[in-house]
Amino acid sequence: MIVFVTGTDTGVGKTVATAAWALHFGPDVVVAKPTQTGDDEPDVEVVRRLAGCEVAQFTHLPDPLAPDTAARLRTVGIPTIGDHAARVRELAGAHGTVIVEGAGGALVRLDTTGGTLPDLAADLARDHEVQVHVVTRVGLGTLNHTELTVEALRSRGLEPAGLVLGAVPEEPGLAERCNLTELPRTTGVPVLAALPEGAGALRPQEFRRRAPSWFRTR
């Protein structure tokens, strides 16, 4: 199976959610990042540290921008969606589950021809079981962002398997409390996991101990 982790925006908690999913689907799992941008700790290294699983990063660009923008800024070529699909298929042939973390929001361009994570998922869905999970915020404004993301996926023939709440405060405010029920109601997509705020700062042992409690269903 190939699991795609996308989000409503950048900074919503995709990487920490990916680490939690890796533990959920383990042990025969590998996490892939088609394109990493910026010089901070690579997302796959965060996942490796938290989940202790095998990881693979296909491409790195130094500027903290969308992959297409970062490549154009440097006037360099980057792999196409077809190239990424071939790499993911190789990983799928060697592992029970491949988790692919996107960059930014769902429609961020991963190559210089306009290819996106939904395009990659649709390509791989031709010959593999594919799931798409959407990581989202719980605060004010998330209903619109999440509905737009779900609508974009559905318009491309991809039905989201579930929502992941990326950072739920220990003491949610009014908007957060309402959105816990409004998100699945307005999108028609179930909430499969709710990660507490600060989960990514936990020590790996504590992260692994607590991660199972964040999931509501398999």
DSSP per-residue letters across 116-176: BHHHHHHHHTTTS-EEEEEEE--STTHHHHHHHHHHHHHHTT----EEEEEEE-SS--HHH
Is 123 annotated to bind ligand? Answer: no
Asked if residue 190 has a cis previous peptide bond (ω within 30° of 0), the answer is no
Is 114 annotated to bind ligand? Answer: no
- Concerning whether 195 is annotated as a catalytic residue, the answer is no
- How many residues in total does the chain contain? 218
Terminal C-alpha separation, the chain = 14
To 5 degrees, how large is the angle CA 62–CA 68–CA 70? 25
Q: Residue 26: exposed, middle, or buried by beta-carbon count in 10 A (0-12, 13-18, 19+)?
A: middle
Is 206 annotated to bind ligand? Answer: no
Is 5 annotated to bind ligand? Answer: no
Is 113 annotated to bind ligand? Answer: no
Is 198 annotated to bind ligand? Answer: yes
Is 86 annotated to bind ligand? Answer: no
Is 11 annotated to bind ligand? Answer: yes
Cα–Cα distance, 17 to 37 (Å, whole number): 19
Is 196 annotated to bind ligand? Answer: yes
Give the number of other CB atoms < 10 A from CB of residue 168: 19
DSSP per-residue letters across 109-120: BSSTT--BHHHH
Catalytic residue among 24, 33, 84, 137: 33
Cα–Cα distance, 32 to 78 (Å, whole number): 16
Residues at the annotated binding site?
11-16, 37, 43, 101-104, 196-198
The catalytic site residues sit at: 33
Residues at the annotated binding site for ATP?
11-16, 43, 101-104, 196-198
Residues at the annotated binding site for Mg(2+)?
15, 43, 101
Residues at the annotated binding site for substrate?
37
